[in-house]
Amino acid sequence: MIPTSLTLVGCGAYARELINWIADATAAGSLPPLTGFLDTTSNSLDNFPYTLVYRGRIEDYVPEPGEALVMAIASPEAKRRIASELKAKGASFATVIHPSAVIAGSARLGEGVTVCPFALISADATVGEFAAINAMSSIGHDVQLGAYATLSAHVDLTGRVVVGSEAFFGTGAKVLPGVKIGERAKIGAGALIMRSVKADVVMYAAPAKQL
């Protein structure tokens, strides 16, 4: 299906960033217009300069012809749960790539991925479905980024890094080449990861320590 309109899933701070980045992609001709949002409340955009139509609660969503959804939730756990529920209803998800992002032709991106301004995805990298790559983050050659993972701004995954599903990286985190990050691990802002990290572990500081 080639979508004719987009609807945000969730309408928090990351969603408001995506509203702007999708507008840039629409102006560049790579995405259809963003017209609405799903959220727990209709007043999510009150006091902000946006005019999207409230489409109701996420749990009440019914797919419409020509519509694709954009995952606008940063929490990996919430993304996994909500994406599963919506796909079970037959929902279709768009992949959002800002025009300023640089993506190698040999990189592979899954469904529902969002790539923000000035991000880099290098040669032969694989990005799992619903991963979020925020502004100025970089994914090195041969990186494997798991499904539902979230990279905050300025994160640097160097070559051959392997990241499990639902991992979260705070702003400015850096991972050295060949290091493995387990599923659901949380990497704090500014952390420098020099050795592999087990699943469900929280790391912080530079060099990183386990919380």
pLDDT tens string 127-142: 999 999 999 999 999 9
Residues 64 and 155 grouped into a single domain: no
Above 70 in pLDDT, residue 112? Answer: yes
pLDDT, tens digit, 9 for 90 and up, residues 173-202? 999 999 999 999 999 999 999 999 999 999
- 27 and 53, same domain (yes or no): yes
Q: DSSP for 129-183? A: TT-EE-TT-EE-TT-EEPTT-EE-TT-EE-TT-EE-TT-EE-TT-EE-TT-EE-T
> Are 84 and 159 in a shared domain?
no
What pLDDT is stored for residue 205 in this prediction? Answer: 78
Considering the domain architecture, whether residues 164 and 129 belong to the same structural domain is answered as yes
Once rounded to an integer, what is the mean pLDDT over residues 89-105? 98
Find the distance separating the first CA and the last CA of the chain, reported in whole Å. 45
Closest CA to 157 of 125, 129, 200: 125
- The pLDDT of 78-107, averaged and rounded, is 98
Mean pLDDT score of the chain: 96
Q: Does the residue 181 lie in any domain?
A: yes
Residue 22 lies in a domain: yes
Same domain, 79 and 100: no
Q: Give the pLDDT score at 185.
A: 98
- At 84, is the pLDDT very low, low, confident or very high (cuts 50, 70, 90)? very high
**pLDDT (0 to 100) of residue 211:** 65
Q: What is the mean pLDDT of residues 77-100?
A: 98
Whether the link from the prior residue into 207 is cis, omega within 30° of 0, is yes
Q: What is the pTM of this model?
A: 0.96
Q: Does residue 110 share a domain with residue 21?
A: no
Report if residue 210 sits inside a domain.
no
Q: 1 pLDDT band (50/70/90 cuts)? A: low
188 and 101 assigned to the same domain: yes
Domain-ending residue, one of 71, 94, 117: 94
pLDDT above 70: residue 16: yes
The CATH number of the domain holding residue 188 is 2.160.10.10
Query: What is residue 2's predicted lDDT score, i.e. its pLDDT?
Result: 85
CA–CA dist 87, 110 (Å, integer): 14
Residue 89 lies in domain: 5-94
Both 86 and 175 in a single domain?
A: no
Kindly report, residue by residue over 23-59, the tens digit of the pLDDT.
Answer: 999 999 999 999 999 999 999 999 999 999 999 999 9
Backbone angles phi, psi at 35, to 5 degrees: -120, -25
Any idea what the Cα angle at residue 26 is, between residues 21 and 110, rounded to 5°?
70
Query: Distance (Å, rounded) from C-alpha 209 to C-alpha 193?
Result: 9
- Domains held by the chain: number: 2
In a domain, 209, yes or no: no
Q: How confident is the model at residue 207 (pLDDT cuts 50, 70, 90)?
A: confident
Q: If DSSP codes are grouped into helix, strand and coil, which group holds residue 56?
A: coil
The pLDDT of residue 200 is 98
Please say which residue of 60, 94, 128 terminates a domain: 94
Count other Cβ atoms within 10 Å, centred on residue 103: 18
pLDDT at 149 over 80: yes
Output the domain CATH number for residue 61.
3.40.50.20
- Using the 3D structure, point to which of 62, 94, 126 is the last residue of a domain: 94
Q: Which pLDDT score is estimated for 118?
A: 98
Residues 148, 195, single domain; the answer is yes
**Taking Cα atoms as reference points, which of 186, 201, 162 lies closest to residue 77?**
186
Once rounded to an integer, what is the mean pLDDT over residues 159-177?
98
Dihedral of CA 177/182/183/189: which sign? negative
Q: Please, are residues 56 and 64 in contact by the beta-carbon 8 Å criterion?
A: no
